[in-house]
Amino acid sequence: MSIFISMYKEKNMALPLVPPNEGGTYIITGANTGLDFECPQNLVRLSAGRVKLAVRSIDKVAEVEPLDLTSYDSVKGFAKKNASIAVDSYTISEGFETSIAVNVREKHGLTPHLVVTGSGAALSAKGQLEKVEGNILKGLTYNTMGERTQRYFVTKLLQLYAVQELAALKPCSETGVVISCVNPGFCNTGLSRHARFTKRIEMNLMQFLVATTADQGRRTILHAATAGKQSHGKYLSNCEAAEEDPLLSFVTNEAGMVMQKRVCDSISRKLNEIQPRCFQEDR
C-alpha cells in the first residue's frame, strides 16, 4: 500500500527539465517503444549533437542501428562498433527466460558507461531472490515465481543490484564514468504491450489511477544522463538520489550487500561465457 501511495503522490509532481550537454552524443537502447522512444525527442529539441537509436525492430523507426537484446551476437556486434520489457507469458531466449535475458543479462553486456533505466517495481520484489538457490539467473529462468508479472519486478531488482555492484567495482575516480540506475516512475507508455488481455486491462486501470506522463518519465532519464559524479552508484528517482527512501533499506543493508554480490557473480559468469574476459574485477 505504501508503494501505491508513493506512486499517487508522484503523479502530479513537477519535475525539472534538465538540458543535455550541448553537442553531446547519446545512444539510446530499446528505442522502439516506451520511454526510450520518448527521450530522443527531448534530446534533439534540447541541442544534443547526435542521438543514435539502437533497436531490435528496425522497421519502426527511420535512422537506427540494430540491437537485439535477446541475441548474444547482436549485443556483441553493437558493442564493437540497453530497453526493458514486461512479459506475461513464459518464453526462452538464448537459454534464459526472456525478461531475464533482456532486462538483466544483456543490458549489462554493453559498455559500463551507462545509465540503466530501472523501476520502482524493484522494491516490490523484496524477498524473491532469497528463494533462489545457487546461480541466480539460472534459478530464475526455470522458476515461474508464481505470478507471471512478478518476473518483471525481479528483473528490475536484479538491475539495481547489478548497477550498484558495477559502480563499486568501477569507481568514477578511476574511470571518469558515472554509472547509475534511474527510476522513471510508473509512466503511461507501452509497458504492458506483451501482456495478455486481462493483464493489460489491469495495468491500464493502474495507469489511469497513478501513472505519470511520458514527459515526466523522460525528464528523470535526462536528469540521470547529465547528473554529476555524486550520482555514481545511486538509485535516482524524481530527479534526485533516493538514498533516504525507507523502501530501499533491504537493498542497502548487510543482507542486501551479500545478495548484490551473488547477483553480480551470476551475471559476470554468464557474460564471460558469452564473451571471454568480458567482465573482470580490477580490485
Q: Does the residue 282 lie in any domain?
A: no
Q: Does the residue 281 lie in any domain?
A: no
Element containing residue 111 per DSSP (H, E): none
Domain that holds residue 215: 2-274
Tell me whether residue 112 is exposed, middle or buried, using C-beta atoms within 10 angstroms of its C-beta: 0 to 12, 13 to 18, 19 or more.
middle
- The pLDDT score that the predictor gives to residue 87 is 47
Q: Does the residue 193 lie in any domain?
A: yes
Count of alpha carbons within 13 angstroms of residue 281, beta-carbon side:
10
Q: Does the residue 283 lie in any domain?
A: no
How many Å apart are CA 84 and CA 116, to the nearest integer? 10
pTM, two decimal places: 0.72
The DSSP result for 190-225, as a single string, is: STTTBS-HHHHHHHHHHHHHHPBPHHHHHHHHHHHH
Mean pLDDT per 10-residue interval, the chain, length 283 residues: 62 72 73 72 74 67 61 70 48 50 48 70 88 88 63 89 91 87 82 71 77 84 85 90 78 93 92 82 56
- The pLDDT score that the predictor gives to residue 85 is 45
Q: Does the residue 279 lie in any domain?
A: no
- The pLDDT score that the predictor gives to residue 6 is 67
The answer to whether the CB of 179 falls within 8 A of the CB of 232 is yes
- The residue type found at 36 is D
| E strands present in the chain | 25-29, 50-55, 64-66, 92-93, 96-97, 115-117, 180-183, 235-237, 240-241
Domain with 139 in it: what CATH number? 3.40.50.720
Count of domains forming the chain = 1
Q: Does the residue 167 lie in any domain?
A: yes
Count of alpha carbons within 13 angstroms of residue 57, beta-carbon side:
8
Q: How far is CA 250 from the centre of its chain?
A: 19
- The pLDDT score that the predictor gives to residue 38 is 73
CA distances from 231 to 75, 144, 272 (A): 26, 35, 28
| E strands present in 67-150 | 92-93, 96-97, 115-117
How many Å apart are CA 30 and CA 38, to the nearest integer? 11
